[in-house]
Each structure stands twice: as C-alpha cells, then as structure tokens.
Amino acid sequence: ETGCFTYDNGFTATAACRSAITYIDGDAGVLMYRGYPIEQLAKQSNFVEVAYLLMHGELPKQDELAKFEGDITHHTMLHEAFKNFLDGFRHDAHPMAMLMGMVGSMASFYHNNLDYEDPAERRLAAIRLIAKVPTIAAACYRYSIGWPLRYPRNNLEYVTRFLHMMKEVPSEPLELNPVAAKALDLLFILHADHEQNASTSTVRLVGSTGANPYACVAAGVAALWGPAHGGANEAVLKMLGEIGRPENVQSAVDKAKDKESGFRLMGFGHRVYKNFDPRAKIIREMTYKVLDELGVNDPLLDVAIKLEEAALKDEYFIQRKLYPNVDFYSGIIYKALGIPTEMFTVMFAIARTAGWVSHWLEQQADPENKIGRPRQVYTGATERDYVAIGKR
C-alpha cells in the first residue's frame, strides 16, 4: 500500500502511480494484461481485442469488438496535409524521427477545441491514435524508399491493413501473406503494454500536466526510441550482424563483461525481470515456427541461439540475473517478414500505442490525478557566496 520500492542499489522510490492495467512479477517472470496471463492472450487473442482489453478493462463481447474495430477502421485515414510533413523530412531520416514528428503534429489536426473532460472525447482521441499510427508508420517507410503512399484499405483487418500500406508494391499485384500478418499480430500483442516502462511513464508524466494525448504519445515515441528501451530490437540485429558467426559468440560475451568496453549484449537484461522475460520465451518459440513457415533460413538465428546459450551459463550473467528480454528474438522475426531494421522500433511503437493510450485514459479518468513531480537526491555544492568575476 505504501508503494515504496527499494532498488538493489539501496535507492528507495515511491511508486510513480497506481494502475489496474498490467501486472508484472519480475522474479517469477509473470506478465498479465488486466489479469489475463500473456501466454493465454498470445495463444487465443488478437491485437485489436487486446487493445480493447487494455483500454476498457474487460474482454469485449462480439458486438463490442465489432464496434471497436469499426471505430478504428473509420479513423485510419490521415488529413492530406500530413504529406507536407513527410516532404519536409530528409529522405534518409530515421522512421522513428518521422513518427515522433508526425504523431506530435496530430495535435495540430485533431486537438482543436476538444474537451478532455468528456470521456467520449478522450476515447475518440485514443481510437484516433490506435487507428492512425500504423498509417503514419507505413507512410514514413514508403517516403524513405521513395514509393507512393498507400491509403488504408478498410476491408482489411488491422495488421493486414498495415502490411498492405507498408509493403504493397505499386507495380505488382497485392500479395498478402497470412503467416506474416499472424506473426506480426502476435508480436503486437506481446509489445502492447508493460506497466510503467520508460515510455509509458513518459506518457503519464506528460499527461499529468494536462497536455493533449497526441503530445503525450509523441513523447512516448521519443522515449521508446532509445537503445536501452525500444531501440534495443534494432540494436540486437546490428549486434548479431557484427558477431556474424556462432564461433564469435564467446568473445562477444567476454566483451560484454568488460565494463571498459562499454559494450552490452543488446536484448539482454531488464529493469524488472530478474528471471526470463515471459515474452522472450514466447517469441523464441515463435521464431522457429515463423522462419519454418516462411521457408527462411537466417544464419543470425544460429548466432542468437549460441549467444543466449553462452550468456545463460556465464557466471557474470547468472550473478546479475541477466536473461533475454522481449527485444532479443523479435528482430529476427521482423527481418523474416521483410521489415527493414530501422522499422523495428516503429513496430514496437505501433503496438505500444495501445498501452500508452490506455494508461493516458486511466490517468485522465482518475479524480486524484496530480501533476507528476519526481524528486532527486541533491549531490551538488553546499551554500556559498557569489564571487565577482575579477576575484575568481
């Protein structure tokens, strides 16, 4: 009840907030969305239904799900003026830079005279974000490769619609791969929410000031981009590529143990999980299945498996309870789906938008919601008198 945590470095911290959305037990490797174990949702649900669950707190009945899907489908289009933003970016801009800018600019299109005291207006803003972020993400990708934009096709379901907008080749008949859509849907479920991670805490801190939801989610995108957070999936693929072959794995593990090197095994370790990240387990199993179904043989998978084996039996990693996290294997699947490395964190952002807007809604509905104001341990100079410049 006190909400006080004592970290392993002796720091104590009070809980940032109270939330009923996601529960994590880092020691037991438990993750639940609104009380449903992630393993069951991964097996039996789909991303849109999970987004509904995170937002509303209950699994939807058939008609509720149909209405939710209809609401999202109705809001997938972007104002044509969004193209002006894209034309302003360098062609080689990182898609996360474009996503951050474009999501923030949604405040200039959809925010005017909205009354966030009205729960219906708040829900509409959440729906708009879940609906439009994939459209923006696909547009950023196509802009970066010089392809014409694709409008959302409302006869397609959420993930397939995104893949169509992102990958449809202008001069060839549309090929929709059900294996790819199913794999991406599962990755979106696993990335949808994760309690008070850095980007969700950012969304809540910005939301606590009364800023509009588009500004809050743009701040979340910014926080997620960091390689210590969502940017890790892109960094894992780069790291596996640099290791190159299974025989180089041990030297990578040894380098990660040498603090001087500044090198860390990307995709390993976690602020909360000091046991296996349950998502990593599901993604590892899924990696074999997806690559097999797609007939993809990726040598980086062998490197990843050997790296995991070597680290998990190394005293340095065992002592520090460092296990593979959600980012360790996901990039291998994205790569097998033909998604370029620089779009990996964008995939994470599309999924986490469901969690970000759910936390924003929960916070805005809380009558006791106060502005966030983290405190510090002051380590600076004690009081002293000013010295004129001539006497310094």
Binding status of residue 270 toward ligand SDX by CB under 6 A:
yes
Residue 243 CB, nearest distance to ligand SDX (Å)?
A: 13
Residue 355 CB, nearest distance to ligand SDX (Å)?
A: 8
Output the six-digit token pair for 126.
């959440």
Residue closer to ligand SDX by CB (options 182, 320) is 320
Binding status of residue 197 toward ligand SDX by CB under 6 A:
yes
Residue from 111, 255, 264, 289 touching ligand SDX (CB under 6 A): that is 264
19: helix, strand or coil: coil
Rg over alpha carbons for the chain, rounded to the nearest Å, is 22
Residue closer to ligand SDX by CB (options 9, 112) is 9
Binding status of residue 269 toward ligand SDX by CB under 6 A:
yes
- Judge whether 192 and 54 are in contact, CB under 8 Å: yes
Residue closer to ligand SDX by CB (options 152, 230) is 230
Q: What is the dihedral of CA 165, 171, 174, 179, to 10 degrees?
A: -80
DSSP per-residue codes, 318-369: HHTT--B-THHHHHHHHHHTT--GGGHHHHHHHHHHHHHHHHHHHHHT-TT-
Residue closer to ligand SDX by CB (options 164, 270) is 270
Q: Which residue among 75, 94, 270, 359 is the active-site one?
A: 270
**Which range in 145-153, 241-249, 270-278, 330-338 contacts ligand SDX by CB under 6 A?**
270-278
- Judge whether 331 and 271 are in contact, CB under 8 Å: no
Residue closer to ligand SDX by CB (options 67, 271) is 271
Residue 196 CB, nearest distance to ligand SDX (Å)?
A: 8
Q: Which residue among 327, 359, 366, 385 is the active-site one?
A: 327
115 classed as catalytic: no
Secondary structure letter of residue 118 according to DSSP: S
Cα separation of 294 and 168, whole Å? 18
Secondary structure letter of residue 148 according to DSSP: P
Which residues have C-beta within 8 Å of that of residue 54, sequence separation ≥ 6? 21, 22, 33, 34, 192, 193, 354, 355, 358
Binding status of residue 359 toward ligand SDX by CB under 6 A:
no
92 classed as catalytic: no
Residue closer to ligand SDX by CB (options 49, 234) is 234
Output the six-digit token pair for 279.
């998502």
Q: Which residues inside 315-334 make contact with ligand SDX, applying CB under 6 A?
A: 320, 322, 325-327
Binding status of residue 268 toward ligand SDX by CB under 6 A:
yes
* Contact footprint for ligand SDX (CB under 6 A): 194, 197, 228-230, 232, 256, 264-272, 320, 322, 325-327
Enzyme catalytic residues: 270, 327
